[in-house]
Amino acid sequence: MESERAPDTTPRRKTAVTGSARKLKDNAADWHNLILKWDKLNDEGSTIANKIVNLGISKGSQQQHNMMLEDLEGSISTNTEETAGHSRELEEECSKLLAVVDRMSRVVSKMEKLVSTGKGVLELEMFQCGAAGRLTPLFLTWPTTLFVEVSAKLYEAYSQELRLKQAILQELAHTSSPDLSMVHLSCWLHQPYLDDSLRLQLEGLLLETGHRTL
């Protein structure tokens, strides 16, 4: 009979993350979740913005039609009612888009808090270890300063994109040119301030903190 297998006494690497490392790991997860939330809001806003543009074009066409038929009996009152209906629907959609932008603003505010948390971790490290920082990284290779730099870049990019959304919101319903409306719609959808490099930095942040594996 074979002897029983000896118990495994090989030291195991601790998986629990505490202190500053825990804060940065949680920060990374929060960045991921907030950006997912932003993407969902952007898709929702794109649908509403597209409807606003279509309503605006339809309203402009209706007004031109009214002018052509203004000499026909009954045409003014009938078409005025249609125009009023377009205006009400346009106002409702603009209110929906405003609500989306407000939620985006709250997402960016939470991003700002993540930057502050990262700076707090760095300040504590410098207090404990000096200006040179700790000798060994908290995770794989990143110094704590890099966590702060990446967070700051992400926050700045989304802050700029939020300002663009707010400008589009102000202009979209009042733009009479269909071509300009399509430019606004394209800017909303493609988000010029959020380039691929930001996604790579987010993935690097998740990989460094163990949320992603190679």
Contacts with 171 (C-beta within 8 Å, 6 or more apart), sequence order:
184
Contact 90, 58 (CB under 8 A): no
Contact 80, 114 (CB under 8 A): no
Distance CA 66, CA 48 (A): 26
Question: Does 13 map to a domain?
Answer: no
Question: Does 5 map to a domain?
Answer: no
Query: Quick one: pLDDT at residue 80?
Result: 61
pLDDT over 90 percentage in the chain: 67
Question: Does 6 map to a domain?
Answer: no
Question: Does 192 map to a domain?
Answer: yes
Question: How many residues appear in the chain?
Answer: 214
Contact 151, 24 (CB under 8 A): no
pTM attached to this predicted model: 0.82
Mean confidence (pLDDT) of the chain? 85
Picking from 13-27, 30-44, 60-74, which range would have the lowest pLDDT averaged per residue? Answer: 60-74
Mean pLDDT over residues 82-110, rounded? Answer: 90
Question: Does 154 map to a domain?
Answer: yes
**Band of the pLDDT at 62, cuts 50, 70, 90?**
very low
Distance CA 125, CA 1 (A): 57
Question: Does 140 map to a domain?
Answer: yes
**Band of the pLDDT at 214, cuts 50, 70, 90?**
confident
Residue 7 above 60 pLDDT? no
Residue 177 above 70 pLDDT? yes
Q: Which residue has the higher pLDDT, 40 or 85?
A: 40
- DSSP 8-state secondary structure symbol assigned to residue 36: H
| DSSP conformation letters of 146-209 | HHHHHHHHHHHHHHHHHHHHHHHHHHHTT---HHHHHHHHHHHHH-TTS-HHHHHHHHHHHHHT
Mean pLDDT over residues 14-39, rounded? Answer: 90
Mean pLDDT over residues 162-179, rounded? Answer: 90
Residue 48 above 80 pLDDT? yes
Distance CA 130, CA 136 (A): 13
Question: Does 66 map to a domain?
Answer: no
Radius of gyration of the chain from its Cα atoms, rounded to whole angstroms = 27
Please tell me the total count of domains within the chain.
1
Angle at 192 between CA 177 and CA 107, to 5 degrees: 105
Please give the C-alpha separations between residue 201 and each of 40, 107, 184, 194, 208, in angstroms, as whole numbers: 20, 19, 27, 12, 10
Q: Tell me: the pLDDT tens digits for 118-159?
A: 999 999 999 999 988 888 999 999 999 999 999 999 999 999
Residue 111 above 50 pLDDT? yes
Angle between helices 19-68 and 144-172 (to 10 degrees): 10
Range of the domain at 193: 20-50+94-208
